A and B are shown apart, each in its own frame.
Chain A
Amino acid sequence: GAGVSQSPSNKVTEKGKDVELRCDPISGHTALYWYRQSLGQGLEFLIYFQGNSAPDKSGLPSDRFSAERTGGSVSTLTIQRTQQEDSAVYLCASSFEAYTQYFGPGTRLTVL
């Protein structure tokens, strides 16, 4: 069946611009996760959704980052006023029972 999909696959933006990253989880998976992968920080957990609710947003790197999920399916991660240190691969994962997580291919974000 279809796996987790993410769009765009690559995004190049200028410092100070806003970007929106999209994640389509596996159908029926109620849990959704966002991670960031960078050379310096490795793979770091950002936020978790159970249905449309994110109980803890403290993992988001700064108040420029926000995430939402609608209809218990698609999720978007928005970064406002992008900075060069935001350059990374942003990964989304989904899970049926909040343990086994399946990852998408990621969005590579480059901030010039």
Chain B
Amino acid sequence: GENVEQHPSTLSVQEGDSAVIKCTYSDSASNYFPWYKQELGKGPQLIIDIRSNVGEKKDQRIAVTLNKTAKHFSLHITETQPEDSAVYFCAASTGGADGLTFGKGTHLIIQP
């Protein structure tokens, strides 16, 4: 089955700086790669996703890049703000019945 590795487990950045979280996956059949943000006591919130026919996608301060050959994808957050502090999860899927396989999460801390 699919295996997703996520790094780093904790990331501390100064407010206004950029943050990058990286994930690798093992199953070349995976074709959908979402990123979720989870705040304490809440369910995961979808923040951006990318499909395998696209190399990069951007939404305001958030961007995701995908390298299918190397089987890795990354989340980039620019101009970080205090409200960006949370745990971020990457995931991979072939869609439908297989569900999402998640990474272990990155605790992002924005230092004022």
Contact = CB atoms under 8 A, between A and B. Distances in A.
Contact of B32 (A42, A59, A99, A104): A99
A31 B93 CA distance: 14
Given A42-B102, A42-B105, A45-B101, A104 B43 contact: yes
B104 A42 contact: yes
B100 interface: yes
A102 B34 CA distance: 11
Interface in A1-51: 4, 31, 33, 35, 42-46, 48, 50
Interface string B70-112: 0000000000000000000101010111111111110000000
Contacts of A55: 97
A98 B95 contact: yes
Contacts of B105: 42-43
A100 B97 contact: no
A103 B95 contact: no
A59 B32 CA distance: 20
Given A42-B104, A42-B105, A43-B89, A102 B46 contact: yes
Interface of B: 32, 34, 36, 42-46, 49, 51, 89, 91, 93, 95-105
